[in-house]
Structure 1
């Protein structure tokens, strides 16, 4: 960077990651030193100090009217991140509270950096950033649906929809290459390979950690419904009731279901509903308030669809074969 001489009265104080501001003792030590202080780093767009507030205070205390400056070009968020990075690696180090506060601010910016990427910016561990993220979400801040990693690659947080699509492709076009499946489903080749292996073992293509549910776009079409009305059948036991789980395990071992595309489709949907009360409550707490009414509506649609599906199953075959009119 080119060093320029700038009048001190043009420079604005830092948008500092330091919660307690400058340290008077550190300013005094710098003022007493005979060493030539390096230029300060300033954000060109706002003229705020990024790195060097202590050096600026020393210059002011000496009565200087100008100071050596290097300019940084970027957004204000990028300038703040640069300030954090520089104060983590040299000079008067940021305290743990300073770094955790900086991580929270970066998370609240809405950018999609991963926990590891933010940890690297702030000098924290990835688990610490994950805890800060959880607190931020609990306070109502939205989270991105994908994360930007340290390697610059964007990765989705949940590949449920892509895994479902991959499973459909494998069922309908078993000779497709993994690369083509990955391209069509919007997932990595490694994820496509995992889906194929899981299906070959008769398992669900979606690991348990991705439950409780698929992407909304994967809901089966239910036809015209009146979701405000009560279900037409008893919804049955709680999904985590022992008999439900036992029956589900038995069905998953049945070759007539797990070795057919329609059977695996049904098993996936039955698995999605095996959610404990605790996990359901946690899921509800994590949902954005502005979408809860819409999600409730969709849940009622699904409930009505399942009730009608159950009624159809309970009817004798000869009645199910009669075309519906009306």
Structure 2
């Protein structure tokens, strides 16, 4: 009997095969011994892609197979192409692990190469992985599914599964879950299904029934449910009527530019220096801008106005992209 070496996937250290399947030895396996099931593809196989692979003159990369069940984890299209070529066997790398890890590996492989999973398929896969691996962090699951950590967080709030007190991060380290995140999860569960009992919400969010009761009470009062409040604090706050504080004035453009000029990551890079030069133009006092506007010749005012509007649109796009990136949406 051939001693097939296997590729192992540990949920603790998050060791995966890379996209080319370069881990583990390659062996030839009879095609009739393999089976296909449990694919993350909702639309099924793409026959055109199968025909394209079958017409490829080169040897196709090895497929990945779950050795205990002989189920194809990654490479169904290559398997179908091999059948069209009338091959009797195919190159295989084996994987030893449970069914949940098989699905994770299938998703990761089909996000990074071949015929990529659609956005809907990746979101559906994320839902399954959040349920099967609740102890994995949002960023860790995001790295598998090709989605953002924020999207995984939104998916997690729709999955009614017990949440552990700690999660494994992308770096393999175990960290405790922020208690405020649990309260926020509980509030989202209550909003999604007001008929859930406190015990059901508590079990799903990983909090005590008393905390779930406090979250529901804050929701009913229209307050932020993720904020803790000590006993008697709200009554004391109701008694006090603090005077409204004036908003903190924003720094002017010249002050902001002086601050940015001290940042070495801007001063000593080409991109940073270009940004500083562009911002320097716009840091002129309002009086100078007003004088400039008054001195624009009448025959080109409309043209300059259109050009200024286009510049404003460009800067707005830049600002929106920077804001998205700063909140982890990039």
TM-score, normalization by structure 2: 0.49
TM-score, normalization by structure 1: 0.50
